[in-house]
């Protein structure tokens, strides 16, 4: 589904990703873990080309998206993304946030899009907030709207960039529950997270990135119980 | 010192017609300034260095020279160069529209820069093309932030519009001067004209705060 071949990303003179390669299969849920500044968010953002790799190739469903001739917008239609800071459109209601892209990008009829959006909002438990504005919602509610907004495009891959890091502790669970439900539907997902228990529970694979390099790529129980690298051992020992 | 408004009576309709004349050209100038200013602002934030250079040069010239000079050049120099005898209305809206665009472009540019970067990223991640992203997502948020600054620009333009009296455009100001010359009394017509300008600006300010309130519905 996703094949990453030797990508490098350099900001100015600072290499953030160094020669990273990996493959993510259809239906896989991959958690990306690592210390702050390790490059894990940059790696995620390369997958939908919000950051363009300085070198290397990325294939999505056998199409090389790093090829400059590829229409990036077309590729992004199939890849949903959820951000740490939600990034909802503040001047639109919840419903408008969810319906805007399917209407504008996929050119679907308004009635159909709204029905689908209401179904999605019901699934994330926000049926009563359809006409609210983002400023009237709690952090957890905003993030659930953001997930519904991404799902409304019916993506084949979902990317989550620290989806719970900006939330109050008591709101983390409601968002993780939604992501967990989504994982069970067989969606291909890549999640950058600091929630180790969540990664343990939901992920099929854990990728540990440090200083721009993949140090570990293992099943969760193996990674959490018997990490191979000293760096991962050190990292895990500092967590609660 | 004696004020006598009674002699002004017969000239009042002539003066009041100036309101419409002034409003007409102010409105068209604002529209030109707004559209051109938005386009210039977009030029300033693109990665195409030629467009950015052009927009910056444009702003530098139109902000760096007096408005009355620009008006004079358009009104007197165009006929000299091309032989086309430019009507006062056209000269007026060109000078004010082009001048206002320079100021508006800076205001809008600042407004766009102030919109959270995450908004562009969210739109890009959804596959939304540039044009709808700008029109429906970025600009509405920018406009909300810059509305007070824009209103200020419109108010300035409304008042400075009196400068067109220098090319003989029969606006409110020009009419007050004509009446003054005919009556050999300048104070009364100028005072009334001043009052009318003030009322126009007050109404414009009021309209501005109504729009502002409506835009704040999502806060």
* Residue from B126, B129, B132, B216 whose CB has the most chain A CBs within 10 Å, to mutate: B126
Shortest CA distance from B128: residue in chain A: A105
Residue B144 CB neighbour total at 10 angstroms: 19
Q: What percent of chain B has pLDDT over 90?
A: 52
Residue B33: helix, strand or coil by DSSP? helix
> Which of A65, A24, A21, A67 lies closest to B127, judged by CA?
A65
Residues B7, A182: Cα–Cα separation, whole Å: 82
> In chain A, whose CA is at the least distance from the CA of B216?
A91
- B127 phi and psi, to 5 degrees? 80, 20
Rounded to 5 degrees, φ, ψ at A63 are -100, 130
Spatial distance between the Cα atoms of B161 and B93, rounded to a whole number of angstroms: 10
pLDDT, one tens digit for every residue, chain A (240 residues): 899 999 999 999 999 999 999 999 999 999 999 998 899 999 999 999 999 999 999 999 989 999 999 999 999 999 999 999 999 999 999 999 999 999 999 999 999 999 999 999 999 999 999 999 999 999 999 999 999 999 999 999 999 999 999 999 889 999 999 999 999 999 999 999 999 999 998 999 999 999 999 999 999 999 999 999 999 999 998 886
Helix axes B12-45, B172-183, angle to 10 degrees: 150
Contact B122 A89 (CB under 8 A): yes
Is B164 within 8 Å of B71 (Cβ atoms)? yes
List, in order, residues 6 or more apart from B198 with CB less than 8 Å away.
Answer: none
Tell me which chain A residues have a C-beta less than 8 angstroms from the C-beta of B142. Answer: none
Q: What is the pLDDT of residues B80-123, one digit of tens each?
A: 888 888 888 999 999 999 999 999 999 999 999 999 999 999 99
ipTM of this model? 0.91
């Amino acid at each position: 589904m996703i094949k990453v071949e030797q990508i490098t990303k350099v900001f100015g003179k600072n290499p953030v990703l160094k020669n990273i390669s990996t493959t993510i299969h259809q239906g896989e849920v991959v958690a990306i873990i690592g210390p702050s500044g390790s490059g894990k968010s940059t790696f995620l953002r390369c997958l939908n080309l919000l950051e363009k790799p300085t070198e290397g190739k990325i294939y999505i469903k056998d199409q090389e998206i790093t090829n400059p001739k590829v229409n990036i917008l077309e590729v992004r239609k199939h890849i949903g993304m959820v951000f740490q800071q939600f990034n909802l459109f503040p001047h639109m209601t919840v419903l408008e946030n969810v319906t805007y892209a399917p209407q504008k990008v996929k050119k679907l009829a308004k009635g159909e899009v709204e029905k689908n959006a209401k179904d999605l909002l019901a699934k994330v438990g926000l049926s009563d907030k359809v006409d609210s504005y983002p400023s009237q919602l709690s952090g957890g509610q905003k993030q659930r709207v953001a997930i519904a907004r991404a799902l409304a495009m019916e993506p084949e891959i979902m990317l989550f960039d620290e989806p719970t890091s900006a939330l109050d502790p008591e709101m983390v669970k409601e968002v993780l529950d939604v992501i967990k439900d989504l994982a069970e539907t067989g969606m291909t997902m890549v999640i950058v997270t600091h929630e180790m228990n969540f990664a343990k529970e939901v992920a099929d694979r854990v990728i540990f990135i440090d200083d721009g390099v993949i140090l570990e790529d293992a099943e969760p129980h193996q990674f959490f119980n018997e990490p191979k690298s000293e760096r991962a051992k050190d990292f895990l020992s500092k967590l609660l | 010192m004696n004020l006598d408004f009674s002699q002004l009576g017969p000239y009042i309709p002539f003066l009041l017609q100036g309101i419409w004349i002034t409003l007409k050209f102010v409105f068209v100038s604002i529209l030109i300034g707004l559209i051109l200013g938005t386009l210039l602002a977009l030029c300033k934030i693109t990665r195409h260095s030629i467009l950015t250079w052009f927009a910056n040069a444009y702003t530098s010239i139109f902000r760096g020279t007096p408005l009355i000079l620009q008006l004079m050049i358009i009104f007197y120099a165009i006929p000299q160069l091309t032989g086309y005898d430019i009507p006062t209305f056209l000269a007026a809206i060109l000078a004010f529209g082009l001048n206002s665009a320079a100021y508006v472009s800076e205001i809008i540019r600042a407004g766009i820069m102030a919109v959270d970067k995450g908004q562009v990223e969210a739109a890009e991640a959804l596959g939304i093309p540039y044009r709808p992203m700008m029109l429906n997502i970025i600009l509405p948020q920018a406009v909300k932030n810059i509305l007070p600054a824009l209103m200020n620009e419109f108010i300035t333009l409304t008042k400075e519009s009196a400068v067109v009296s220098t090319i003989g455009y029969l606006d409110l100001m020009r009419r007050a001067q004509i009446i003054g010359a005919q009556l050999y009394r300048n104070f009364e017509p100028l005072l009334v004209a001043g009052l009318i300008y003030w009322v126009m600006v007050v109404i414009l300010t009021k309209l501005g705060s109504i729009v502002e309130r409506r835009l704040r519905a999502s806060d």
